[in-house]
Amino acid sequence: MADNNPPLPDFTRWPSFPFEGDMRVKPLAAPVDVEPPRSGEDAADCVACNTPDDEYIWISERWRVRAMDRPTGLPMVVILECRSHLDIGDLPNLLAAELGVMTVRLERAIRSLDGVARVHVNRWGDGSAHLHMWFLARPQGRLQLRGTFLTLWDDILPAIPEQQWRENLAMVAAWLAEFGGQAIAEPPHIQWESPSTINYGGDQKDTSSDQPADSARLPDAPTRHTSGDLIADIPAQRVGTEEPDTSAPGTSPVAPAQVSTPY
């Protein structure tokens, strides 16, 4: 329509493009001379370095995996981080090699979930300075979600049920823990389990229905019946090259992952 507006690119006609109707290309802003610092360029201000382990779904001595702070449209969106305050190009050989192992392992874990056809692995690095790799699960059968627009669809689709989301996170955490490290995410509690035998002494308010604040850490967390299948598959995948994470420095913690634009 407008004279100076460039034609829409071909991808706007791809089946996977999430929008339709009249569109136009935005004007391109002028380049800046000096780019602003990314979030957490300094380790002291780095969200990843300052986030405690219990905000993650799985941790090891050199790596951690975190989820968003709530369910989104895809079956799983998680982020792999190293503990060291480094970006991808700065990794020493040990961490670089482990990044490959962790990427393959996490992809396999997510792909093992029911209803997941493919796992997209992305590193943008424009938002936060600390290395963070995105893993996004593309739902089985959803051919329209194939390819580069998956992150957009994640925001468009209705969020998956929280129960399913928590189960998925617990499954992936358990899978990773089979190779080392520690699963933090646990399966959601089954609502019909009676908490009446638990006595916390101090607070005598109604104990008949409310879950205690830290109920996720109680030992009566149910084991998903499907976990046997998951575990059973794992030894075959190990093929000698998998070793549990052993030594390594810890770092300190800072803030839960927010659902936000993946940079």
Which residues of this protein are in contact with Zn ion, per CB under 5 A? 46, 48-49, 85, 130
The residue (of 156 and 255) whose beta carbon lies closer to Zn ion is 255
Dihedral sign for Cα atoms in the order 181, 182, 188, 189: positive
Shortest distance, position 131 Cβ to Zn ion, whole Å: 8
d(CA 66, CA 128): 15
d(CA 94, CA 102): 12
Alpha-carbon distance values, 223 to 19, 71, 170, 171, 220 (Å): 41, 21, 10, 10, 9
**Residue 147: other Cβ atoms inside 10 A:** 16
Ranked by CB distance to Zn ion, the top (closest) residue is 46
Query: Among residues 223 and 260, whose Cβ is nearest to Zn ion?
Result: 260
Q: Are 64 and 56 in contact (CB under 8 A)?
A: yes
Question: What tokens does 122 get?
Answer: 């992305």
Residue 211 CA to residue 95 CA, distance in Å, equals 41
> What is the C-alpha separation between 75 and 113, in angstroms, rounded?
9
CB of 263 to Zn ion, least distance (A): 15
φ, ψ at 244 (rounded to 5°): -65, 150
Residue 5 in 3-state DSSP? coil
Q: Are 129 and 69 in contact (CB under 8 A)?
A: no
234 φ/ψ angles, rounded to the nearest 5 degrees: -70, -45
